[in-house]
A = this chain, B = another copy of it.
Amino acid sequence: MEQVDKEKIEKIQADRKKSHAYLYEKSPVYRTFVEMEQKTFVDGSLQRVNKELIAIGISIVSNCESCLEWHIKQALDAGATNDQILEAIEVAFEMGIGPTTVASRFALKVLEYHLENPSKR
């Protein structure tokens, strides 16, 4: 891979490690978040690997590069394959549109309303 991309990924890793140490020491709220994270990604009714794939899908939609770096690593460690990760990304593609189609429903109603009630414009 290109050197510049490798450096970007390793800067994200280094930054996360450093700020994690700082926040873990200084912030009781952050420490509780870390505890919450640990309780989330355990095998339960869903296996950890499937939880990590959910986290990858959410990271794509949230456009969170550092989250992607972390959860792709975790997913691979939990046994996810390349193709499974790609399919999680495909779900995120599809879900990018979802909310726009929902909003369009209301737009269509508004359009109908104003065509039926021209005097109220």
Whether the pair A104, B60 counts as a contact (CB closer than 8 A) is yes
Which of B67, B93, B109, B111 contacts A29 (CB under 8 A)? B93
Most chain B beta-carbon contacts within 10 A, residue among A28, A64, A95, A116: A95
Chain B residues whose CB sits within 8 angstroms of the CB of A87 once the complex forms = 44-46, 51
Chain B residues whose CB sits within 8 angstroms of the CB of A4 once the complex forms = 11
Whether the pair B96, A98 counts as a contact (CB closer than 8 A) is yes
Restricting to A74-121, which residues have a CB under 8 Å from any CB of B?
A: 76-77, 81-116, 120-121
Residue of B nearest to A4 (CB): B11
Which of B44, B63, B95, B121 contacts A73 (CB under 8 A)? B121
Bound complex: CA A58 to CA B63 (Å): 12
A contact face: mostly helix, strand, loop, or mixed:
helix
Restricting to A29-87, which residues have a CB under 8 Å from any CB of B?
A: 29-30, 32-33, 35-37, 39-41, 44-46, 50-51, 53-69, 72-73, 76-77, 81-87
Q: Which A residues contact B (CB, under 8 angstroms)?
A: 1, 4-6, 9, 11, 13, 15-16, 19, 22-23, 26-30, 32-33, 35-37, 39-41, 44-46, 50-51, 53-69, 72-73, 76-77, 81-116, 120-121
